[in-house]
Amino acid sequence: MQIIDAASPLAQSADLVSGNIEQIKALFPELITEGPNGVSVNVDVLKALVGHQVLTDADEKYGLNWHGKRRARQLALTPSTGTLRPCPDESVDWDTTQNLMIEGDNLEVLKLLQKSYAGKVKLIYIDPPYNTGKDFVYPDNFQDNIKNYLELTGQVEGGQKISSNTETSGRFHTDWLNMMYPRLKLARNLLSGDGLLCVSIDDCERDSLRKALDEVFGEENFVESVIWKKRYGGGAKEKHLVSVHEYVLIYAKDILQLGELYVPQSQQAIDRYYLKKDKNFEQRGGYRTHPLEATKSMGDRPNLVFPITGPEGIEVWPKRQWLWSKDRVVEALKNDEIEFLRDKDGAWSAHSKQYLKDENGEIRQGKAFSIIDNVFSQHGTNELLELMGDARIFPFPKPTNFVKALLDFGAPDIDSLVLGNH
């Protein structure tokens, strides 16, 4: 085995600062100059290029700010000298597994993954501490990362003093943001162009997280704030309303590269909606109908106003206009994909048939919804009890079906590279 010392390039994570400078140089080579510490960016030239669009630290500007933000940003750019060491003796199916679990400080691990996985990950799911005042501790010293990790996970005692971040602390939100910000920056670098970041959170830090993600990803890349109904009862200890939900904030690396998000049809939806049958049943399964009449929100299109020949040769006209063009309607009639139903006044109305399966006999997928309400936190606790025999080993575990709901639309391809960061 090759011995790697601390001075070797292989012992250091990707130099993100140098990478950023190279990207700037490719776009604006005139910005690059020689500084006392090597290659630098000429701020005066930058100001000349963008006119009056440059802000200084003294200017008032819109955004989220807190004490330590500059250091948190720098922390993401500082290379790591750690090394990932394989543990085949502690692993299962080491030679054939498609999965990898990394144990360590997640900030340092994210840095070490930059070289091999930058721009390759389809979905990242982060389940951070919610900063409730009981579950979050934050060390100020990052020099000894293994030591920090052991102390944070309760594996050792002593060393530097670590205390709970209580609500009485003036740094309640600041500490949490200083912990999250560099991790979000590094996570974004790992995502592919069409990749998604999903972050679980509750109301305590939701607003702070949303602003931080807007800054790191760009608010134009916000996809959705998914509501997770995490429980179905309780409330005996609640002082006001019974809180039964949390959130998952979803951001795209580049929303212009993100396609439509679909999920597999549930058996419950199949049994409930696709009840009708016709001559295409064997190939395309059952179907449900949808009015072919356009909604009022659709702009006026005169070419979508025409008669459709219905039962007994009766011409069926839209009240305003159809959803489909005349050519598409003719093709649908030929394929028996339009059904005529009587409305409440007894007049005929046209409806499109929405089959369970496509032309190739594959079950169609449905659009993903912004609510997850069929899996609860208790399921995760039960899974941990079954697996470990003790639910206290890992507090508040997310159910596997909750994570699967995110994977179904965020990384449906079985070969997609997925990263979970806790």
Q: Does domain 72-263+369-421 have CATH number 1.10.3720.10?
A: no
The SS3 of residue 421 is: strand
At residue 5 the predicted structure's pLDDT band, cuts being 50, 70 and 90, is low
Query: What is the secondary structure of 78-141 as a DSSP string?
Result: SPP-------GGG-SSTTT-S-----S-HHHHHHHTHHHHTTTEEEEEE------SSS----S-
pLDDT tens digits along 160-215: 544 444 444 445 688 889 999 999 999 999 999 999 999 999 999 999 999 999 99
User: Over 80: is that where the pLDDT of 31 sits?
Assistant: no
pLDDT tens digits along 226-274: 999 998 877 677 778 888 999 999 999 999 999 888 888 878 888 889 9
User: Over 90: is that where the pLDDT of 416 sits?
Assistant: yes
- Of 22-31, 47-56, 96-105, 200-209, the one with minimum mean pLDDT is 47-56
Contact partners, residue 142, CB within 8 Å, separation at least 6? 75, 107, 148
- 401 half-sphere exposure, CB direction, 13 A CA radius: 15
Share of the chain above pLDDT 70, in %: 84
Could you tell me the residue ranges of all domains in the chain? 1-61, 72-263+369-421, 267-364
Look at residue 51 in the predicted model and tell me its pLDDT: 67
User: Over 90: is that where the pLDDT of 359 sits?
Assistant: no
Tokens of 30: 């005139």
Average pLDDT over residues 342-354: 92
Burial 166-203 (b: 16+ CB within 10 A, else e): eeeeeebbbbbbbbbbbbbbbbbbbbbeebbbbbbbee
Tokens of 128: 């951070």
Question: Does residue 395 contact residue 130 with C-beta atoms inside 8 Å?
Answer: no
Max avg pLDDT among 1-5, 102-106, 210-214: 210-214
Look at residue 39 in the predicted model and tell me its pLDDT: 77
User: Over 70: is that where the pLDDT of 411 sits?
Assistant: yes
Look at residue 282 in the predicted model and tell me its pLDDT: 92
Question: Per the confidence metrics, is the pTM higher than 0.75?
Answer: no
User: Over 60: is that where the pLDDT of 304 sits?
Assistant: yes
